[in-house]
Amino acid sequence: MRALVICHEEAAAPAVIGRLLVERGVDVTQHVVLRADGSPPDTAFPALDGFDLVLSFGSFANAYDESVRAWVDPEVALIRTALERDLPFVGVCFGGQLLAEALGGRVERAPVTEIGAVRIEVADAVADAVPAGPWFTWHEDRVVLPDDVEVLGRTDVAVQLFRRGRAVGLQFHPEAEHDLIAGWAAMGPDHLPDGLTTDELLGSWKVSEEQAHENCARLVDWLVETHVPRP
């Protein structure tokens, strides 16, 4: 099995999900859109031919910001191509928001920034496969979906898990781990809500991290076994 992993910043690594895919024998090709050296966005995505799965991860960008559409639009087009081919696609946080747009939905500002460990209300259809939590989340936007998209999980703030066919969107971050979160906090400290320090965020996450990693393993198994067709 071959997977294309799209990262929007070098700090937005696939982390736990990436390791789990490799452990399961998946050949992972990683494409980074925004380089730390300030070079132009790389939207020359690999051809989808030969890939069995595409995953797209997070970003500090806001999908509706006109200043980022020059690199967002090509990725939305890529996602639409994957949908047309019925190629399994998984969008995580920002990647899930781009999936929502490709499906005919939109992204809007959430009423609050949702950050830290959360539990989600999971639909009965996937409750045996997808744990309610804990999961890590960090987002200030949320998706608005067309009526024909299946909502599989939510919190009071936002839709957290949705699906159409073989395409699955997540608002939370199953890939999160201590070092990844610390890197995000260092990269975007202005995105932390007032009064929340990095030490407090990481300290509260430490309590949930081991269980969250176990949850991520179950989620990856569900994503691959349920949505990726076998030869």
Tell me the catalytic residues. Answer: 93, 173, 175
Instruction: Tell me the one-letter amino acid at 107.
Output: V
Residue identified by tokens 């999980």 is 153
- Three-class SS state of 19: helix
Tell me the C-alpha distance between 118 and 198, whole Å.
Answer: 17
Closest CA to 153 of 129, 181, 180: 129
Token pair for 142 = 């949320």
C-alpha separations of 11 from 49, 167, 182 in Å: 27, 24, 10
Residue 9 neighbours by CB under 8 Å, 6+ apart: 32, 33, 34, 36, 59, 60, 187
Closest CA to 80 of 72, 68, 160, 61: 72
Closest CA to 96 of 66, 133, 58: 58
Closest CA to 203 of 188, 187, 181: 181
